[in-house]
Amino acid sequence: MKFFVDTADVAAIKELNDLGMVDGVTTNPSIILKSGRDILEVTREICSIVSGPVSAEVVSMNADAMIAEGRKLAEIASNITVKVPLTWDGLKACKVLSGEGKMVNVTLCFSVNQALIAAKAGATFISPFVGRLDDINLDGMELIADIRQVYDNYGFDTQILAASIRTVNHVTQSALVGADVITAPPAVIKALANHPLTDAGLAQFEKDWAKTGQKIL
């Protein structure tokens, strides 16, 4: 499973990338706002760090404007993935941009039917929002599993990018049901290394080592 990091924090991206934990990056208007930086500038810098897909999102609501914005964003670097919303206009933009050979990430997916038509429109990635479904007492992971089954049934190449990942359990569950990619904040990816038994074991090792009176260096 590929790991995308959901942030425009360049320092965090560099740290994870150096460890081989970044296969791509996702951003959105809220993330750009949080960064406090110009979208073209920060996206260009991210693309210079990460070799995998970097999602940059259009902000217009009609297809023609989305297409124009998508073309502008795609000029930043060869690894740009144009992110469009799962609306009818977004699907029109997806069809045109994917037809031009650009990677397209169709975002804000909340149903299998939405995922199905996004795949038919040529989406490179579909982004179902797991956490937001959980927020309204629906099973976000069930949606990932259902999309996986439908895509496998018909041989769609669109990759399932599990988004709105908020916990390490979301990562585990996404891997188990066959998501191609997860995108998560840096803190969630780093938390994958944590386990209370690891901490307890290290504490015991440190205590026992101190009793030996030895040093390695």
Token representation of residue 38: 């110009």
- Which among 83, 120, 211, 215 is annotated as catalytic? 83
Does the residue 217 lie in any domain? no
CA dist., res. 67 & res. 82, Å (int) = 9
Does the residue 163 lie in any domain? yes
Residue where the block lists tokens 């997916």? 109
What total number of domains does the chain contain? 1
CATH at residue 15: 3.20.20.70
Q: What are phi and psi of 98, to 5 degrees?
A: -65, -35
> pLDDT tens digits, the chain, 217 residues: what are they?
999 999 999 999 999 999 999 999 999 999 999 999 999 999 999 999 999 999 999 999 999 999 999 999 999 999 999 999 999 999 999 999 999 999 999 999 999 999 999 999 999 999 999 999 999 999 999 999 999 999 999 999 999 999 999 999 999 999 999 999 999 999 999 999 999 999 999 999 999 999 999 999 9
Range of the domain at 194: 2-212
Q: Please report the DSSP string for 76-117 in residue order.
A: S-TTEEEEEESSHHHHHHHHHHHHTT-EEEEEEE-SHHHHHH
CA dist., res. 111 & res. 180, Å (int) = 17
How many residues make up the chain in this entry? 217
Note if 83 is an active site residue: yes
Does the residue 157 lie in any domain? yes
> Where on the phi/psi map is residue 108: left (φ > 0), alpha (ψ -120 to 50), or beta?
left
